[in-house]
Every structure is written in C-alpha cells, then in structure tokens.
Amino acid sequence: MEFKLKNLDSAIAVTRLANIHYFEFTKQYHTTGDRHSFRELVYVDNGTIYVEAENFSGELIKNQLIIHKNNELHSLYCDSHIPPDVIIIGFECESVELDRFSEKPATLSSDMVRMLTEVVREGRNVFEPPYDVPNIKDMKKKADTLFGADQLLKIYFELFLINLIRNQNENTVKESILHDFKKTQEIRNYIENNYCKNITLDELCFLFSTNKTTLCNHFKESYGTTIIDYVNRKRIQQAKIKLREGNENITQISLNLGFNSIHYFSRLFKKYENISPTEYVATIRSRLGI
C-alpha cells in the first residue's frame, strides 16, 4: 500500500507587497485622503495618531493597529505633542478574515509586536531604502538578496496575520464567556432579591432573554448547582433564621417563603437539614439551654 500525501490549505496568502515603511513622523504631520487596490496595515510603535477612514475614524495609540481594506479611503493625522513612530505595510491578501481589522483597532501583545518586528526586519533584506519616505509608488527590491529572503518575508508576514486573527477570535470567545457570566450574575442577583416568590424557569428566560438550556447550563457551570436547588437552599437558609428568631410559627414561615404547603416545606427542610423544622427548633433551644 502506498503512502497517501495530503494537501495543505492556506488560510492566509499574502500574494504581493507594495511597501514596508517605518516612519518617524513629525508632530502634526498629516496625509491627504488616499485609496489603492491593496490592503494597508497601520501600526503605532510609539505615540498617537488619528485615523480617518470609511470603516473607522478615531485614535490609534501605542501597540495598536488597523488594516484598511482594498480601495478604502483613508488618511492619518499625527499628535500635536509627541511625534509618533508608525509602521505601514501595503499588501495583497484576499482573506475576508482581515476585514474586521478595518472596523476596530487591535492591540498587540509583546509576542505579536516581536513577530511584526521580524516582518519589518526581513523586509529590509528584500527592499531597498529609503524606508521612511511617504508616497513612494515603486519601492525597489534589492538586486542581490539573501537566500530565501522573499519567502521568509512572506512566511513571517503570513504567520503574523494568522496569529492576529487567532488572537482576535480567542478574545471574542472570552468576551462572549464574560458576557454570559455577567448575565448569570444578574440572574443570581434577581433570585437573591426574589427567592420568596414563585420563581419559574420560564419567567427567568423571559426576563433575561435566554432559553432554558442555556440558562440552566450557564448557571450550573458558574455556581455548581441548579437554579431550583439554589432557590430552595436560599429559602431553607432563611427559614432557619426565622425559626431561631421565634417571631413566626412554622406555617407563617412556610407561606412567607413562598412554599405552597407546610407539608412540602417540612419535607424539603428535612431533605436539606436531615431533621424537621420542629426538631431543628428543639435542637437549637436545647443547645442554648432554653
């Protein structure tokens, strides 16, 4: 039997590069509106710039980047206090996964900054200087490059973009988990304030715009118990306090805590405390010498 070779897919393919710049801009430097048929990565290595584009307009601070889409009108304006350092890379890549970075800046981790630095460093093995002159329409490639420089530049840049997308996806998942946890906290707070009422799963689903499966799963993952069990334990805990206070009889306590009958209350109390409400009161009195 022959070995079977498998094809490898390319999720990100950088096909051509227009330029790789590292600019040390002056204060208040600005560009006019520009558009071109390739994407443009804009990364702030130091300082602050202001971006004006079709999909995003706002501030970019240190370690943030944005990637303008093909043919997107864009310009930038530099801070009036600190002259910024900015990396700009013009490149062709058809992956729609990169489109999201035209709408919201991404903040790079120290590892991602190092990867981008590798891209810029290898770019200088491929392209001739100057690297800091704006509006160069034809950035020349070196006639005699190091072995494999073109390929390494392509690999480094694709590796950077793949990790950029992966990190963004992980952050999205984390944000989703955090959102779910915050909603679960809101549900628990609602229960804490309303456990004496007849709380139903249908009511909670309606109030918090969710469904029973999601509601029950997220609550159990967060608090290690079911909603029904959580409500019952709250009621029994409060019942024990009221029994010790001695201001209400067992029937009154049962009704005030939302139980349909004293018999159900007594049965549930014994389930959680291993003794009946009457036995609990007797035990407390005996323990205190009353």
Domain residue spans of the chain: 14-172, 195-290
Write the DSSP symbol of residue 28: T
What topology is assigned to 195-290 in CATH?
A: Arc Repressor Mutant, subunit A (1.10.10)
Percent above pLDDT 90 for the chain: 42
**pLDDT value for 158:** 96
Residue 42 makes CB contacts below 8 A (sequence gap 6+) with 49, 51, 60, 65, 66, 67, 68, 76, 86, 87, 88
Q: How many Cβ atoms from other residues are within 10 Å of residue 128's Cβ?
A: 11
pLDDT at 288 over 60: no
Q: How far apart are CA 34 and CA 32, in angstroms?
A: 6
**pLDDT value for 121:** 94
Q: Average pLDDT of 158-183?
A: 75
More confident residue, 93 or 234: 93
For residue 240 the two structure tokens come to 């024990």
Q: Average pLDDT of 175-199?
A: 77
**pLDDT value for 214:** 85
Angle between helices 149-194 and 212-223 (to 10 degrees): 90
**pLDDT value for 181:** 66
pLDDT at 23 over 80: yes
Q: Which helix (H) or strand (E) holds 40?
A: strand 39-46
Percent above pLDDT 70 for the chain: 94
pTM to 2 decimals?
A: 0.63
Dihedral, CA atoms, 36, 99, 64, 21, nearest 10 degrees? -30
- State the amino acid at position 145 in one-letter form: T
Q: How far apart are CA 29 and CA 46, in angstroms?
A: 15
Identical fold at 14-172 and 195-290? no
Q: How far apart are CA 11 and CA 16, in angstroms?
A: 16
Residue 204 · residue 227 · CB < 8 Å? yes
Residue 84 · residue 47 · CB < 8 Å? yes
Report the chain's C-alpha Rg in angstroms: 32
For residue 119 the two structure tokens come to 């891209």
Q: How many Cβ atoms from other residues are within 10 Å of residue 9's Cβ?
A: 6
- State the amino acid at position 156 in one-letter form: Y
**pLDDT value for 82:** 81
Dihedral, CA atoms, 134, 138, 143, 146, nearest 10 degrees? 60
pLDDT at 287 over 70: no
- CATH architecture classification, 14-172: Sandwich (2.60)
Instruction: Express each pLDDT in 233-284 by its tens digit.
Output: 888 888 888 888 778 888 888 888 888 888 888 898 889 889 888 888 888 7
pLDDT at 182 over 70: yes
* Kind of pairing between the strands at 106-107 and 48-53: unpaired
Write the DSSP symbol of residue 140: P
Q: How far apart are CA 52 and CA 102, in angstroms?
A: 11
Question: Among positive and negative, which fits the CA dihedral 122, 126, 129, 134?
Answer: negative
Q: Average pLDDT of 165-178?
A: 66
Question: Mean pLDDT over all residues of the chain?
Answer: 88
pLDDT at 133 over 80: yes
